[in-house]
C-alpha cells in the first residue's frame, strides 16, 4: 500500500468514525490523516476490514476518551479473528492478501495430526513455534551436562527422612 492509498484509507476510517461517534474521533485534517495513514500503512489488512474495525470499535469497544490508532488496530484484530473463524472469511482474507485460500479440509488435516505425524520431531516443532523457549531449554540442558550429579543430603526439606 503506497502513501496515497494509506491516506485515502485513513480518511475513510476517520470519516466513518465521525459519522458513528462524532465526539470520539478527531477531525480529519491533513496532519491527522497523515499520522493515521502511517499506522494503517504498516499492516496488510484489506480496506473493508479496517472499516469493519471502526464499526466494531463504535459498537463494542468505545471508551470515554478520544480514539487512538491502537484502539482501531485492536478492533481490526477482533474483526480479523471473526473473519478467520469461517471458511468464507478465511477465503476472503486470503484473496485480499493475494494468497491461495486455505480450505477447511487442509486446516482439519493439519490439526488432526500430531507433530510426529507432520514429519517433524517435537524439537523441530518447538524450535519452529517457540524459538525463544527452545533456546532456554537448550541452555538448561547444556548447564545440566556440566553439573555434578544430584546427591540428597540430610536436613534438606526435599531429602528422604533416613539416609
Amino acid 8: pLDDT: 95
Q: Please, which residues have CB within 8 angstroms of residue 54's CB and are 6 or more apart in sequence?
A: 13, 16, 17, 20, 72, 75
How does pLDDT run across 103-120, given as a tens digit for each residue?
777 767 767 766 556 676
By C-alpha distance, which of 11, 14, 33, 34 is closest to 24? 14
Mean pLDDT of 139-143: 81
**Confidence tier at 153 by pLDDT (50, 70, 90):** low
**Confidence tier at 33 by pLDDT (50, 70, 90):** very high
Mean pLDDT of 125-147: 75
How does pLDDT run across 67-90, given as a tens digit for each residue?
999 999 999 999 999 988 887 888
| Lowest-confidence pick of 6-10, 125-129, 143-147 | 125-129
Q: Which pTM was predicted? A: 0.61
Cell of 109: 488435516
DSSP string of the chain, one letter each residue: --HHHHHHHHHHHHHHHHHH-TTTS----HHHHHHHHHHHTTS---HHHHHHHHHHIIIII--SS---HHHHHHHHHHHHHHHHTSHHHHHHHHHHHTPPPPPHHHHHHHHTS-TTTTT--HHHHHHHH-HHHHHHHHHHHHHHHHSPPP---TTSTTS-S--
Amino acid 57: pLDDT: 94
Amino acid at each position: 500500500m503506497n502513501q496515497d492509498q494509506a491516506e485515502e484509507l485513513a480518511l475513510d476510517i476517520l470519516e466513518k468514525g465521525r459519522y458513528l461517534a462524532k465526539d470520539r474521533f478527531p477531525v480529519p485534517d491533513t496532519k491527522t490523516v497523515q499520522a493515521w495513514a502511517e499506522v494503517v500503512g504498516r499492516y496488510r489488512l484489506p480496506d473493508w476490514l479496517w472499516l469493519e474495525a471502526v464499526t466494531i470499535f463504535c459498537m463494542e469497544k468505545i471508551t470515554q476518551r478520544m480514539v487512538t490508532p491502537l484502539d482501531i488496530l485492536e478492533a481490526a484484530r477482533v474483526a480479523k479473528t471473526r473473519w478467520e473463524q469461517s471458511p468464507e472469511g478465511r477465503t476472503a482474507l486470503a484473496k485480499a492478501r493475494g494468497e491461495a485460500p486455505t480450505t477447511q479440509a487442509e486446516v482439519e488435516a493439519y490439526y488432526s495430526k500430531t507433530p510426529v505425524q507432520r514429519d517433524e520431531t517435537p524439537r523441530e516443532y518447538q524450535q519452529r513455534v517457540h524459538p525463544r523457549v527452545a533456546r532456554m531449554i537448550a541452555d538448561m540442558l547444556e548447564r545440566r551436562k556440566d553439573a555434578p550429579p544430584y546427591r540428597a543430603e540430610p536436613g534438606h526439606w526435599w531429602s528422604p527422612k533416613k539416609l
